[in-house]
Amino acid sequence: MCSIMGLTTKALQQKDFQEFFDRTISRGPDMSRIIETKTGYLCFHRLAIMGLEESGMQPFAMGDDAVVCNGEIYCFRALKKELSKKYTFKSGSDCEIILPLYREYGLDMFKKLDAEFAMVIYDGESDKYIAARDPIGIRPLFYGYLKADGSIAFASEAKNLVGLVEKVFPFPPGYYYDGQDFVKYRSVTDVKEYSKDDIETVCRKIHDKLELGIRKRLDADAPLGFLLSGGLDSSLVCAVSAKILKKPIKTFAIGMDKDAIDLKYAKEVADYIGSDHTEVIISRDDVIEALETVIASIGTYDITTIRASMGMYLVCKYIHENTDIRVLLTGEISDELFGYKYTDFAPSAEEFQAEAKKRVDELYMYDVLRADRCISVNSLEARVPFGDLDFAEYVMSVDPELKMNKYNKGKYLLRHAFEGDLLPHDILFREKAAFSDAVGHSMVDDLKEYAETVYTDELFEEGCKKYDFATPFTKESLLYRDIFEKYYPGQAEMVKDFWMPNKSWEGCDVNDPSARVLANYGDSGM
């Protein structure tokens, strides 16, 4: 990861905003630089992943134009070859192609990018600032209007802007800001017509497109690592990566010191693919001690996001402190595309598809938010193969009748797509606990019990009255909200709502986001 910031005014001097920018120096601890434009500033904290030499440092400039980008542009080698006929490149950085692309294609350039990115471009000729974010929102970007003069400011994280602006807003994925308006340039969920592919063709394409998405994300000049929970999604990413790289990969699993469901399954996968595997064991005390740090890092009060962030943060902390790894491949976004346990209750194909669209469109507020912040606060970069744009667009276009669980097995299409010798059948078709539960059922129980020690019933009732938006409804949710407000006062609307199953569906009207409370949880993760 890297950290960027763009100020479109000189009403503030560098000394006035330096502290705000440095709040995210952990995203880019290798090198920092701030440049002045005619009318503002572009700021960059670097985590060197591609083009490790100093010539790959940003902001990149071309004449009076300049850019800062937190991203990976997976198509950059082909684009660079095309652009090299006209432009000279000085580094191995993928982001150096951005300004030549802008010169050639203007704002249409964003449609050409096979990338995860957030960027701010300064156009020197027109003296305007352009900002953009990838279609899924894998790389973070926020904006707000400065208290000093009302001008717009952009930053990688909300914490960069708290205190500089009245309200912090997430930059919408798949949009660019053209200096005046926000314009939608691409969506992976707006399906105009469903694919007519039969089930075997669908599965073949799922296999090939995911494998290609993984292959792209193995291209790094910095050391790679892999998060392995033992469930379907991370196991596929690890197994395919090991096959492509033809050497042992470094895998990491985390679990509680008791009832760590995932550890045994992760080891089974690791042994099968021959990875260099590390188990990170945590305790109740580790979880409670890290809670405030995690909420301050991820910038949310959402219950399920925080629960799932505990294990993610602590395993990434271990990796940062004990290894030279800089890049982590993860298994996020599969659930949103193929379905959760609760989507088994979808009453129709149309509603299944609508739910998938909602979940993918809101990813940037939940799972992606968790993965980005937990990883980046530990000076690591996340890569998400299931978020590959071509892969995600295709899965969204598959007839939802095929994606619904009519097979007595969730995510059947994904499982069937990889049947063979890549993974043993019992791993490929195993039902897995939700991530926050799988770290150890006791972890969620520990968090709930800790909240009970913080609030009496009377304090809980009074505490909830403080919040009109996304009002807490349990002592656990109040605890998280109170901690959130300590670091992000008055910014609760950055998150749309609590992540919960679709309460309008029969069997899903529950008051806890854990799949454990659903009637169909069964033997998941046991």
Q: Which of 2, 69, 164, 228 is catalytic?
A: 2
- Closest of 320, 498, 519, 515 to residue 436, by C-alpha: 515
Q: Are strands 169-170 and 142-145 parallel, antiparallel or unpaired?
A: antiparallel
Between CA 42 and CA 55 the distance in angstroms is 17
Distance CA 415, CA 26 (A): 37
User: Residue 474 catalytic?
Assistant: no
Kindly tell me the burial class for residue 94, based on how many C-beta atoms sit within 10 Å of its own C-beta (0-12, 13-18, 19 or more).
buried
Is 47 part of the annotated catalytic residue set?
A: yes
Tokens representing 131 are 């900002």
Q: Which of 348, 335, 338, 332 is nearest to 395 (CA)?
A: 338
Tell me 449's DSSP state. Answer: H
71 is catalytic: yes
CA angle 237, 234, 304 (to 5 degrees): 140
CB 73 within 8 A of CB 97: yes
Catalytic residue of the set 8, 24, 70, 160 = 70
Q: 71, 174, 230, 463: which is the annotated catalytic residue?
A: 71
Q: Maximum distance among all alpha carbons in the chain?
A: 71
201 is catalytic: no
Amino acid, single-letter form, for residue 438:
A
**If you ran DSSP here, which 8-state letter would residue 12 be given?**
S
**316 catalytic per annotation:** no
| Catalytic residue chosen out of the listed positions 160, 251, 300, 304 | 304
430 contact partners, CB below 8 Å, separation of at least 6: 231, 232, 265
Residues 6+ apart with CB under 8 A from 482: 463
Q: What is the DSSP letter of 427?
A: H
With beta carbons less than 8 A apart as the criterion, state whether 169 and 26 touch. Answer: no
16-31: b (≥16 Cβ within 10 Å) or e: ebeebbebbebbbeee
Q: Residues 46, 217, 307, 359: which is the catalytic one?
A: 307
The distance from CA 246 to its chain's CA centroid, rounded to whole angstroms, is 27
Alpha-carbon span 209 to 191, nearest angstrom: 18
Calpha distance 275→270 (Å, rounded): 5
Q: In this structure, what token pair is assigned to residue 185?
A: 């340039």
Which residues are tagged catalytic? Answer: 2, 47, 70-71, 304, 307
